[in-house]
Amino acid sequence: MGRRLARSLQSAPVMMTLPANDPAQDDDPPSGDAPPHPLHRRLKSFVRRAGRTTDGQARAFAELGPIFLLPYRAEPLDLEAAFGRAAPTVLEIGFGMGEATAHIAALKPETNFLCCEVHEPGVGALLKRIGEQQLTNIRIFAHDAVDVLDHMLVPGTLAGVHVFFPDPWHKKRHNKRRLIQPPLVRKLAERLAPGGYLHCATDWQPYAEQMLEVLSQEPLLRNTAAAYAPKPDYRPLTKFENRGLKLGHGVWDLVFVRV
């Protein structure tokens, strides 16, 4: 199935090279209380987890990676060239194993999904779903989304941003690694087109409260709800979320729009 999809996409003018090794990615500061070394660029919102890439994921990498993976380069991305068409584009940060991503991309074929994830088996898993579901509207950066945001995305160009269940960094001393903080939210808001939306979801209440505070304080954004939003229909309940709900955990969605 992957090969058939690959053939049907061969005419699309997308970038076809695998991401180059990026030495800047190897500079993760040690976790814990030690202050970052001055040579480290910034504190990352992730640590590289070990994980096994299955045979199916490896096959998906080989067959579909050249079509759907975009190479990270510190230069503006031509979205139309990357997707082979002009369409509203939604950025997703940290798609995990890509379950929600593939579901939403299938639901909204008219929208482009630009998806960032640093966990290699997760990237393989999404590539596999792309093949199985014959999806054509996803492109992937196997790279830190903050770099992509900083160097590749032009202000006013995104129709939406999805940040679903970002790492909660539970311990107080690790809270500073959380993605949803004022500087990043400002960058996201700037890259949204007027009317574009930022949708975050979390199952960790203290993080939900932080999200509500930070997003509410961003002057470029307006809340679509009085506080937390009802779960939009397009966001599926993932296995992970279902497990949490069964254990009695809450889930909070936040949907803000660019004014």
Ligand X SMILES: C[S@@+](CC[C@H](N)C(=O)[O-])C[C@H]1O[C@@H](n2cnc3c(N)ncnc32)[C@H](O)[C@@H]1O
Q: Judged by CB, which is closer to ligand X: 5, or 149?
A: 149
Q: Which of 2, 19, 122, 196 binds ligand X (CB under 6 A)?
A: 122
Q: How far is Cα 74 from Cα 191, in angstroms, rounded to an integer?
A: 16
Within residues 6-35, the interface with ligand X by CB under 6 A covers none
**Residue entry with tokens 């990043």:** 184
Q: Judged by CB, which is closer to ligand X: 93, or 130?
A: 93
Of the residues 33, 167, 233, 253, only one is catalytic, namely 167
166 binds ligand X (CB under 6 A): yes
Q: How far is Cα 225 from Cα 245, in angstroms, rounded to an integer?
A: 22
Q: Which of 117, 203, 218, 253 binds ligand X (CB under 6 A)?
A: 117
Binding segment toward ligand X, per CB under 6 A, in 70-78, 107-115, 139-147, 210-218: 139-147
119 binds ligand X (CB under 6 A): yes
The residue type of 115 is: C
Rounded to a whole number of angstroms, the minimum distance from the CB of residue 164 to ligand X is 4
Rounded to a whole number of angstroms, the minimum distance from the CB of residue 46 to ligand X is 4
Q: How far is Cα 79 from Cα 152, in angstroms, rounded to an integer?
A: 10
Binding segment toward ligand X, per CB under 6 A, in 19-27, 28-36, 117-125, 215-223: 117-125
Closest CA relative to residue 259, chosen from 224, 226, 214: 224
Tokens representing residue 229 in the block: 């939003």
184 binds ligand X (CB under 6 A): no
Helices (H), the chain: 2-8, 55-68, 79-83, 99-107, 120-133, 145-151, 182-191, 205-217, 239-246
Q: Which of 53, 133, 175, 238 binds ligand X (CB under 6 A)?
A: 238
Q: Are strands 158-164 and 192-202 parallel, antiparallel or unpaired?
A: parallel
Q: Which of 2, 5, 19, 46 binds ligand X (CB under 6 A)?
A: 46
Residues 6 or more apart whose CB falls under 8 angstroms from that of 196 comprise 158, 159, 160, 161, 257, 258
Q: Which of 45, 57, 89, 202 binds ligand X (CB under 6 A)?
A: 45
Residues shown for the chain: 259
Q: Are strands 112-116 and 89-93 parallel, antiparallel or unpaired?
A: parallel
208 binds ligand X (CB under 6 A): no
Tokens representing residue 48 in the block: 């590289």
Could you tell me if 84 and 78 are in contact, meaning their C-beta atoms sit under 8 angstroms apart?
no
Q: Which of 165, 207, 228, 256 binds ligand X (CB under 6 A)?
A: 165
- From the number of C-beta atoms within 10 Å of its C-beta (0-12, 13-18, 19+), residue 162 rates as buried
146 binds ligand X (CB under 6 A): yes
Q: Is 144 a catalytic residue?
A: no
Residue number closest to ligand X, CB atom: 94
The footprint of ligand X (CB under 6 A) covers 45-46, 93-96, 100, 116-119, 122, 144-146, 164-167, 238, 240
* Residues that are catalytic: 167
